[in-house]
Structure 1
């Protein structure tokens, strides 16, 4: 048996901030009280620190298997834990694509051996693998991923009969990437006709346009309503899309939910001039108006969770010309610090941050005993110092790709300690590689 006592923490949980102690035993929160006088194997004095539930990131691309020159489960879970993310859900556009139950299990086997964070993996849908999709176990698989727009790895599902079958028969939550392919291809052809090889990154949000996003998202919503599908739309990037979602019913009752990502809450199209391909994502970073509307939708409940879409590529890949450079970038290490900057700026409260990165993700996916600071729950926790600045540079970037869109930015807060399933996995700048990640389970 192992025990940890956290003393004098400002605990941010379920809409409140309280001075509390926590006693952790065998990986779980055994007791929460104003003062706890117990002996423990390890004591953490959290005076001056805030204690949050560890972030649950419902959209990452850790690139294993097949793309491990960019990243792998071990390296990216290290970056996650160092950033206060204690659980992740990883996407199927690896190589080979995760389109069979056997390939899905292969990823779980890798994570069991190498992940420092808790993990789950999406089953991939294609135009022709419905039989495999229907075998997905809702109890221990986070969901089914449908690319309704092409992106890295091109798993586009564009057959109408296949989409109807997936939406009507899926045994669990469907998560979608929504961009209308015909609109994107028409826009791309028009820009190539006009500019040839000189198409530039500034044109990215015009090619992968707001209209392309809305057409696809509205189609997914219509399909879900028709079939009563449990639908979760990923990385909303436009103001217009936010109106597709409801905010007047409790999250537990919603059949259609939505996610915002760090980059769409932070950057705008004005940043392409300085960041270039390093902020090239699908869907594209769009206008400041879109960015502000997405944040408002997070605050008012039209958008339910915040995630990263962490998707590393090498520097060499990113420094190619716009048309050749892949979309995606590393975010999981600095997601919490970016959100804490928004708190510092008065755009978000600590309580809202916790709700959108932990509580709601747990509720939305029906995760078993995680995402809240409660007695009996797994101790997935992060302690942050809101008054300790932290500058991102190449020496402290842990993602295998070795770069960050936040490079040279000084965040207002620092991650001091991260606990994963009751094990201290990161402490004062050092990783403690205990291999503490567990497979997530779901109350379905």
Structure 2
């Protein structure tokens, strides 16, 4: 089937221009400027007044399958992804069983092959004793090795210094890290329990999972990567101080890169009293000064990728006192429109949003033929209508957990169509029940 998207405002590779895109089978066949004659096609979408962007690539999600599917699963969360313009995701290993063996990894790929609406890849998780398994990872299939260098999720905390040295020394593919120093966090928990007891306010979360805890762990990761010339990607940077660890410049010139998540760009610690458990993430949402520094880090290219760390819990789990409430929340369905809202407010340009959410992950992970609007590339595309009020409600989301930290927020944009591998996966509020997703391939 061929599709012609005509008269769109195309945003791609730092430029915005009026044009049309012809899709044939799974691929972009032709990009046409506004003055070029339009070819015929089986389906024509009039995109007058709409933005046409490459599909978003989210390099950090937790879809909870297998083992935690009361919170989420690959089917429901990938539906939410395509409803939000996310056409590809990379999923984390802290499931049950944990994805710390090649066997468990292959089982996830089999689930995704049958259930996913968006293109997919999975991280292999590190433990204190699975180095031999990590070395079996296929660099063309596995997006990276995930290390929890500070973790409250199961027993995946890698805290043995010899193990860390060996992993950074021997693993040949990208290492992605969650960096928070566990010893600092434990000491802070002890102190705050003595001060406030079990019923502590959520606004103290960034004091427990502190800026110092983040910096100490991130600086250790950078130290190890520098020592062993490791390809390191540090996830969800949340503090101004951590930005000093990274260089600005093109991704292709870096061995050490950094990701920032939408919630750290949107919320601040001033929001805890209003949102409470709904914005309890690890690392914590921190100060307004930290948020402004992170926004600046995107603009000066110290921060390379914008992602979500989408990590659903049920609302019953979240509606607990601080110490009984799990960290994490759903975000993938509204990440793109939240970033475009910030562009509308003048914080970023639309072109920079596309760079950090689409182009940069494709470059950083060396993904084959995705992340750009280019002839010969897979047709992973999203159409967005600007200047249309879009108020988010818990009842309207596609997440299995049926809530959003953005509930009650009114955005100025709405995703109208998402195309995955040349097929319409989402159109005007409806998910196509036929799946067209493929595994991501990495050119390494």
Structure 2 counterpart of 1:398: 398
How is 1:49-88 mapped onto 2 (pairs within 5 angstroms)? 49-88=50-89
In 2, the alpha carbon distance for the partners of 1:340 and 1:365 equals: 24
In 2, the alpha carbon distance for the partners of 1:324 and 1:126 equals: 25
In 2, the alpha carbon distance for the partners of 1:151 and 1:386 equals: 39
- Distance of aligned partners of 1:194 and 1:163 in 2 relative to their CA distance in 1, 3 Å threshold: same
- Distance of aligned partners of 1:92 and 1:355 in 2 relative to their CA distance in 1, 3 Å threshold: same
Whether the 8 Å contact between 1:136 and 1:171 is mirrored in structure 2 is no
In 2, the alpha carbon distance for the partners of 1:291 and 1:351 equals: 20
Structure 2 counterpart of 1:321: 321
Whether the 8 Å contact between 1:311 and 1:328 is mirrored in structure 2 is yes
Structure 1 counterpart of 2:19: 20
Structure 1 counterpart of 2:46: 45
Runs of 4+ that moved beyond 6 A: none
- For residue 41 of structure 1, report the CA deviation from its aligned partner: 1.6
Whether the 8 Å contact between 1:152 and 1:327 is mirrored in structure 2 is no
How is 1:23-172 mapped onto 2 (pairs within 5 angstroms)? 23-34=22-33, 35-172=36-173
Structure 2 counterpart of 1:434: 434
SS at match of 2:68: coil
Whether the 8 Å contact between 2:124 and 2:146 is mirrored in structure 1 is yes
1:273 aligns with 2:279: no
- For residue 395 of structure 1, report the CA deviation from its aligned partner: 2.8
In 2, the alpha carbon distance for the partners of 1:355 and 1:126 equals: 33
- For residue 171 of structure 1, report the CA deviation from its aligned partner: 2.2
**TM-score, length-normalised on structure 2?**
0.99
- For residue 192 of structure 1, report the CA deviation from its aligned partner: 1.1
In 1, the alpha carbon distance for the partners of 2:408 and 2:253 equals: 43
Whether the 8 Å contact between 2:269 and 2:287 is mirrored in structure 1 is yes
- For residue 199 of structure 1, report the CA deviation from its aligned partner: 2.3
Whether the 8 Å contact between 2:395 and 2:403 is mirrored in structure 1 is no
Whether the 8 Å contact between 2:250 and 2:301 is mirrored in structure 1 is no
Q: How many residues align?
A: 442
Q: Deviations over 1:69-94 (max 9, x none)?
A: 00000000000000000000000000
Q: Deviations over 1:248-278 (max 9, x none)?
A: x421020000000000000001100010011
In 2, the alpha carbon distance for the partners of 1:310 and 1:18 equals: 32
Structure 2 counterpart of 1:212: 213
Structure 1 counterpart of 2:261: 261
In 2, the alpha carbon distance for the partners of 1:359 and 1:311 equals: 23
1:369 aligns with 2:369: yes
In 2, the alpha carbon distance for the partners of 1:178 and 1:389 equals: 37
- For residue 36 of structure 1, report the CA deviation from its aligned partner: 4.5
Whether the 8 Å contact between 2:83 and 2:415 is mirrored in structure 1 is yes
Whether the 8 Å contact between 1:177 and 1:235 is mirrored in structure 2 is yes
In 2, the alpha carbon distance for the partners of 1:80 and 1:271 equals: 25
Structure 2 counterpart of 1:195: 196
SS at match of 1:334: helix
**Root-mean-square deviation (Å):** 0.8
Structure 2 counterpart of 1:417: 417
In 1, the alpha carbon distance for the partners of 2:440 and 2:347 equals: 31
In 2, the alpha carbon distance for the partners of 1:196 and 1:384 equals: 47
SS at match of 1:257: strand
Q: Deviations over 1:136-169 (max 9, x none)?
A: 0110110000000113334100011110111011
How is 1:336-355 mapped onto 2 (pairs within 5 angstroms)? 336-355=336-355
Structure 1 counterpart of 2:296: 296
In 1, the alpha carbon distance for the partners of 2:84 and 2:250 equals: 30
Structure 2 counterpart of 1:10: 9
Structure 2 counterpart of 1:386: 386
Whether the 8 Å contact between 2:343 and 2:350 is mirrored in structure 1 is yes
Whether the 8 Å contact between 1:152 and 1:326 is mirrored in structure 2 is no
In 1, the alpha carbon distance for the partners of 2:367 and 2:2 equals: 24
SS at match of 1:416: strand
Q: Deviations over 1:176-225 (max 9, x none)?
A: 00000000001111111222213221111000000000000000000000
